[in-house]
Amino acid sequence: MAPVLLSLLWVGLAVSQATPLKVVKTGNTPNGFSNAPRGWNSFGLQANPSINPSFKFDQEHVTEQADALVANLPSSIFDTGDYYISLDSGWSVGANGDEYGRIVYDSSIFNISTLASYLHSKNLKLGVYILPGAFCNDGDKMIYGTNIPINATFSGNNDGFARCDFDFSKDGVQQWHDSVVGLFAVWGVDLIKLDYVTPGSPDNGGHLPANNSGSVIAYHNAIKGFGGAMRLDISWKLERNSTYLDIWEANADSMRTDQDINNSGSSSFVAWKTVQRAIENYRDFISGVVAASDQPTLTIHPDLDNLYVGNNQSITGVSDSMRETIATHWIGAGANLISGSDMTKLDALGIRLLSAPNALNVAQFTAQYPMQPRNPGTGQNKSQQLQAWIAGPSDNGTAVVVLANYGPDQGQGGFGTTYSGPQGVKVSWADLGIQGSYHISNVWTGADLGVFNSSFNATLDEGESQLLMLTPVNT
């Protein structure tokens, strides 16, 4: 090994310059949820059709995925009520609503009420995908329960996706959103994924307004009017400054911190360079939360996009150790755990990553205490190839720690280094901002690693990580 790599082998030997740890806490979301959603979303198979050529985006094949999810995972995990089957774009009629301009499903491929009832019978819930605005073609229709034509509420902007945007100061806008959520409630919808929210979302070939955050507020108010029984997940790569984070936190239950991470049109789901980008975007997000307050709190869960870990290496697109690292970081972030994998082709590792009891217990913990970066050797929060994270400690002193080697930066990781092969990562308690003795266990293997008093180290290959539970030792 080259001398420069030997000198870097045990990152963490420098005297720590760590600032005091500010524990991040997540409370109940605006619609009353204490955990991030789990389950399955259709987009990966829709965007990567060669992975499963037999999959068609219709009721039969979505039901097949739901049945496979239930059949392959332990039945007890669904008792939490947090598992959703989420339909992405294409379930609804594309350019017109019903007689009141409300979104309607494409009856040639779905019966949403029937699907919702079936999923509920399996202890699953239903999510649907929508965009801001109303169909421009419905402008002359009256908003349900009013004598207000829909076009009287428009701002004058056509977003390029068959929808006209609202002027949120006008009477009728909230009533239209109320009518849509009311219809969804009748159908049995449990989650709304609201895409193309701005500021944040790129135009992607359309003509989005600079700020349609009023749609997030209006949907939240509508959900609240119906008892807050639906989740609101907003996307994508949303603006995270204090002005808009306050809006997202006050109205949504989870928010996308990155763009789509799947390899659209490819024969595999995801590339490691894109995972590096997703982790970097989360690092930036949570670091901003920490910097903004002496007692940082959240009322929203991050959404790092679909969790592509269920299928073997050739289908997923990354190594098995990288699959585990993806699951580790999504869990550590307290993020949405909605898989985009093919549920009919889960392998043994995929089943473990989606259902291991120890890992799901950690997910319960990080839903309240999301992880933040603490650089080995300094305790700072900069982007690094060899990284440490801590979630908590909780009031009883329990903490979760992640050690990772992300491998060489493939262009979007933010850290820029290219250390190849196995690397040592050593983190001290000073780096993490904790003190005392801790009993440490490896969450994925279940191994009891013993009691440690001041530091912990691991040798990790490229893309490898460890998910550790730290329990304080009473002295």
Asked if omega into 199 is within 30° of 0 (cis), the reply is: yes
List Cα–Cα distances, 199 to 305, 354, 400, in angstroms.
Answer: 18, 33, 33
Q: Residue 282 and residue 298: Cα distance in Å, rounded?
A: 14
**Catalytic, out of 165, 178, 195, 303:** 195
Residue 49, number of CB atoms within 10 A of its CB: 14
The residue count of the chain comes to: 475
Is residue 242 within 8 Å of 296, Cβ to Cβ?
A: no
**Catalytic, out of 82, 165, 260, 347:** 260
Active site residue 195: yes
List Cα–Cα distances, 344 to 52, 68, 162, 173, 439, in angstroms.
Answer: 9, 6, 34, 42, 38
Q: 458 in helix, strand or coil?
A: strand
* Positive or negative: CA dihedral 282, 316, 418, 390: positive
- What backbone phi and psi angles, to 5 degrees, belong to 245? -60, -35
Q: Residue 399 and residue 396: Cα distance in Å, rounded?
A: 9
Is residue 309 within 8 Å of 353, Cβ to Cβ?
A: yes
Q: Tokens in use for 320?
A: 């098995």
Q: Residue 348 and residue 107: Cα distance in Å, rounded?
A: 36
User: In which residue are the tokens 């985006």 written?
Assistant: 57
Through-space distance between the first and last CA atoms of the chain, rounded to whole angstroms: 42
Among residues 191, 264, 251, 261, the alpha carbon closest in space to that of 219 is found at 251
Is residue 34 within 8 Å of 299, Cβ to Cβ?
A: no
Q: 178 in helix, strand or coil?
A: helix
Q: Tokens in use for 34?
A: 């204490």
**Residue 421 one-letter amino acid:** G
Is residue 426 within 8 Å of 400, Cβ to Cβ?
A: no
Catalytic residue positions?
195, 260
